[in-house]
Amino acid sequence: MTHRLENAYALLIAVDQNREPSAALPAVARDVQALHAVLVHPERCGYAPDRVRLLSGAGSTRQAILDALDWLGDQLAAIADGDSTAMIYFSGHGHVDGGEHYLIPCELNLRRLRSSAIRAADFADAVAQLTPRRLLVVLDCCHAAGMAVKGADAGPAPFAGAALPPALFLPTGKSPGAGPGSGEGRAVLSSCKPAEYSYLRADGRMSLFSFHLIEALTGHAQPSGGAAEVLVSDLISYLQRHVPQSALAQHGAAQTPDPRLTGNFLVALVLGGDGLAKGQAAPDPLAPLPPAASWQASVSGSGAVAQEGGNALGERAVQIGGDNSGTIVSGTQIVKHYYQAAGGSEAHVALNEVLGLGNRLAIIGGPGCGKTTVLLHMAWALATSLLAGEPEPAHSRLGLTVAPSELPLPILVPLASFARYRRQLPAGAPAHEKTLATFISHHLISSEAPFDLPVDFFVRLLKDGRNVLLLLDGLDEVANEGERAEVRQSVQNLVASRNAMRVVVTCRTIAYRSGGTALGGDFREIAVQAAGPRTAHRADGASGLRLHPPAGQRAPQRACR
């Protein structure tokens, strides 16, 4: 039987793409994807998928990294007793300039290197504010020439790669006072010492460090068979033994992981908490992972749902497990069954039909199902048509048949950033500074791009009811319920009496339907169902979007396996 690691969160950052082509690190994408896969797999490390955030590619921007740290902080702060575990993994370029260390995001600007990068001291300060009892920070910031993912001697001038010293994150004399056997503490691990580089395996499939890190997380580091947990001390000892050996054997070079820690604590489960049986070999990090069989359920209307092993109580309750009917998935074969309740209906819609459903839309769904991707697709299609003055791709991709000059201007806003902006305002800030319109002007003009526009340009644009498509991403990512209610009200205030304004909000289903998060009745719900071999979707290959009936007319309770 597999288990989940309670109150465990992870933030994984891999800056594999870059605005500066010479700073791209394509191999780190494979590393972070492999690490993410073992962390969330129920038969490996046991982290819940919705508690692991992955940033890579074009999503590894400076702002996205800072917002993700805020997300992690909010999640940890919401745990009343603070009994939590957190892991932060960064793989990308480090840079040193005049003794100051920097982390390089994907939108590196060599002419404004300091302002486009993240000061390592600021990143470390944000990490220091996190409140878990157990924290592991893993830094892989100095990738080697030729044998690895970037030219150590041919970086874009004045760019100078450098490993980040762990002392930035855990200074001597300032670390928490956790004893070696306390089950809590903090650990920082750099993939190499300052004068060294981080190398790829000779076969190029993964970095040496990440390969051995995944080995350590999946049972290779345990001193004896049967251990059900991975302790940070075992993980570090394993890496300190095996990474130098592999670097010397495969590249004739030195690579020595550089740790700093206080206390000893668990960071993962071994094989889902089952541990290795006597004589059982630990899994190969390069081998495919076993299928992750799991139960999923969602309820519309009254009633209750219990996962396997629990009890379902209440009117029209649904018990999931055993031989109960549901959406049964075997490979790519899908059979659907709905538990019908009275009234309402559901219908599948294509992406190019969504904007035709109304001016107020709430796109909901589970973690990783593609809610943000839908918004990015809308923004891309509109921006492409507007810049070209052509109807395509907005016509075919979004179903918009108006002239190019009449297309709405897409404005994408991460709501977690809005919440952070409000939190940082002084206590006596005037009410207008707390509005979503003011934040949009701040976010787009002051923070994101050097537009030559008046500072209140977007405030006036929105208040005048101009033709825009407001794409508000991640209402659920405002973790504090009080702050989420304020953000929700800010959205309602902005759209009130502006019937022509198009607004699309994304939120996880469970958050949207609890705690008063749902927006007003004029917002129509659309559920995104991720398409994949083990995900519920139409067997005919149609869109993974499902139109829900209006609130109060909820249709089926449904259960899926």
If one counts every other C-beta atom within 10 angstroms of the C-beta of residue 451, the result is 11
Task: Pick 502 or 552 by higher pLDDT.
Answer: 502
- Which DSSP symbol is given to 452? -
Interatomic CA distance for residues 58 and 64, integer angstroms: 10
Q: How high is the pLDDT of residue 416?
A: 86
In this prediction, residue 515 has a pLDDT band, given cuts at 50, 70 and 90, of low
Interatomic CA distance for residues 271 and 267, integer angstroms: 13
In this prediction, residue 351 has a pLDDT band, given cuts at 50, 70 and 90, of confident
Closest CA to 276 of 212, 222, 236, 213: 222
Kindly report whether the global pTM for this prediction surpasses the value 0.85. Answer: no
Interatomic CA distance for residues 372 and 16, integer angstroms: 20
In this prediction, residue 347 has a pLDDT band, given cuts at 50, 70 and 90, of low
pLDDT at 325 over 90: no
Q: Are strands 502-508 and 328-330 parallel, antiparallel or unpaired?
A: unpaired
Please write the tens of the pLDDT for every residue from 7-42.
999 999 999 988 888 788 888 999 999 999 999 998
Question: Where would I find the H helices in 370-480?
Answer: 371-388, 394-398, 415-424, 436-441, 457-463
Instruction: Answer for the pair 474, 415: CB distance below 8 angstroms, yes or no.
Output: yes
Interatomic CA distance for residues 139 and 124, integer angstroms: 12
If one counts every other C-beta atom within 10 angstroms of the C-beta of residue 81, the result is 7
Interatomic CA distance for residues 84 and 405, integer angstroms: 52
Interatomic CA distance for residues 241 and 230, integer angstroms: 16
Instruction: Answer for the pair 192, 275: CB distance below 8 angstroms, yes or no.
Output: no
Instruction: Answer for the pair 43, 223: CB distance below 8 angstroms, yes or no.
Output: no
- The 3-state secondary structure of 184-248 reads CEEEEEECCCCCCCECECCCCCCEHHHHHHHHHHCCCCCCCCCCCEEEHHHHHHHHHHHHHHHHH
Please write the tens of the pLDDT for every residue from 500-511.
788 999 998 888
In this prediction, residue 479 has a pLDDT band, given cuts at 50, 70 and 90, of confident
Q: What is the mean pLDDT of residues 292-321?
A: 40
Is omega for the bond preceding 158 within 30 degrees of 0, making it cis? yes
Closest CA to 321 of 311, 301, 307, 340: 307
What's the sign of the alpha-carbon dihedral 459, 460, 463, 468?
Answer: negative
If one counts every other C-beta atom within 10 angstroms of the C-beta of residue 482, the result is 8
Question: Where would I find the H helices in 41-119?
Answer: 62-77, 113-116
Instruction: Answer for the pair 319, 306: CB distance below 8 angstroms, yes or no.
Output: yes
Q: How high is the pLDDT of residue 446?
A: 54
Q: How high is the pLDDT of residue 54?
A: 94
pLDDT at 159 over 50: no
* 436-440: Cβ within 8 A, 24+ apart: 436/487, 436/490, 436/491, 436/493, 436/494, 437/462, 437/463, 437/494, 439/413, 440/411, 440/413
In this prediction, residue 422 has a pLDDT band, given cuts at 50, 70 and 90, of confident
Name residues whose C-beta falls within 8 Å of residue 333's C-beta, 6 or more positions apart in sequence.
none
Interatomic CA distance for residues 307 and 287, integer angstroms: 30
Q: List strand residue ranges (DSSP E) for 48-199, in order.
A: 52-56, 85-91, 94-97, 100-103, 118-119, 134-140, 185-190
Which run of H or of E encompasses 249? Answer: helix 232-251
What's the sign of the alpha-carbon dihedral 509, 510, 514, 516?
Answer: negative
Angle, CA 474 vertex, CA 472 and CA 480 arms, to 5°: 120
SS3 385: helix
Please write the tens of the pLDDT for every residue from 68-118.
999 999 999 999 888 999 999 999 888 877 778 888 999 888 778 778 889
Residue with tokens 């993962």: 268
φ/ψ (deg, to 5) at 325: -70, 160
Instruction: Answer for the pair 53, 72: CB distance below 8 angstroms, yes or no.
Output: yes
If one counts every other C-beta atom within 10 angstroms of the C-beta of residue 379, the result is 16
* Mean pLDDT score across all residues of the chain: 76
Q: How high is the pLDDT of residue 457?
A: 66
Q: How high is the pLDDT of residue 279?
A: 78
**One-letter identity of residue 335:** V
**One-letter identity of residue 430:** P
Task: Pick 165 or 133 by higher pLDDT.
Answer: 133
Residue 26 CB-density burial (10 A; 0-12 exposed, 13-18 middle, 19+ buried):
exposed
Closest CA to 65 of 128, 114, 13, 113: 13
Please write the tens of the pLDDT for every residue from 243-293.
999 999 999 999 999 999 998 999 999 988 888 887 788 999 988 887 764
Residues comprising the chain, all counted: 561
Enumerate domains of the chain plus CATH numbers. 8-273 (3.40.50.1460), 347-553 (3.40.50)
Partners of residue 134 on adjacent β-strands: 85, 185
Interatomic CA distance for residues 363 and 512, integer angstroms: 10
Instruction: Answer for the pair 154, 178: CB distance below 8 angstroms, yes or no.
Output: no
